[in-house]
Amino acid sequence: MEQSNVGKLFEGKTFNNFKILPATENAYNDCLDFCTNYIPKCRGLRLHGRYGCGKTHLAAAILNNLLKQNIPSMMIVTANLFDCIKQGFNDKEKALIATELVNKAKQVDVLILDDFGAEKDRDSNGNLKMVGSWERENLFLLINTRYENNLTTIITTNYNMQELFELFGERIMSRIAEMTISVGMKGAENYRIRLAQVV
């Protein structure tokens, strides 16, 4: 669990404590089916929907389920991956840590990249701006290695495919499109607000 990089917050997120609502029922079933029918090198998922609809919860549920089946799996928040690489720019020890993380991410049977594309990728007018070139280069090397080895990759994102192409470019996104099956959570409410109202 520690090696899988899952944040403490997500250790307890499972299929059992995911409340099935009409708007998320299909996504729940697709994610559970993915775990039940998992075979090495099968196609991954692209979980998309708006902020707070339960994407990370379902991704963590997949991770927890796969780890229980002893399938080597790992979940990284995409911004944290970039942050880790960036910290290595001027620090040899941190560069080694980053290389180790990236190498694991390149090789692990199932990689989950959480929050692919973040809110800060918009300019002051609210328009999308392309993710920085070193981030894209590193991400390309990671995605392409997995693509060439047919390794299963799952992403969660607030963005639709067109927006992802604008953010990450065709080189990365054409591969991800091929590597993943779309799982939409359209119409799902922001569960965070619901949680806040219960308190």
Ligand X SMILES: Nc1ncnc2c1ncn2[C@@H]1O[C@H](COP(=O)(O)OP(=O)(O)O)[C@@H](O)[C@H]1O
The three-class DSSP label of residue 113 is strand
Minimum CB separation of residue 112 from ligand X in Å reads 12
Asked if 24 interacts with Mg ion (CB under 5 A), we say no
User: Would you tell me which residues interact with ligand X (CB under 6 A)?
Assistant: 13, 18-19, 21, 24, 51-57, 156, 191-192, 195
Minimum CB separation of residue 12 from ligand X in Å reads 9
| CA distances in angstroms from 11 to 133, 149, 162, listed in the order given | 33, 28, 32
Stretch that binds Mg ion, among 24-32, 48-56, 72-80, 96-104 (CB under 5 A): 48-56
Q: Which is nearer to Mg ion, 145 or 189 (CB)?
A: 189
Q: Which residue is nearest to ligand X (CB)?
A: 54
Contact 188, 55 (CB under 8 A): no
Residue 152 CA to residue 173 CA, distance in Å, equals: 15
Asked if 56 interacts with Mg ion (CB under 5 A), we say yes
Cα angle 142-146-149, degrees, rounded to a multiple of 5 = 145
If contact means CB under 5 to 8 A according to the sort of partner, which of Mg ion, ligand X, none does residue 19 touch? ligand X
Q: Which residue is nearest to Mg ion (CB)?
A: 56
Query: What is the Cβ-side half-sphere exposure of residue 88, based on CA atoms within 13 angstroms?
Result: 18
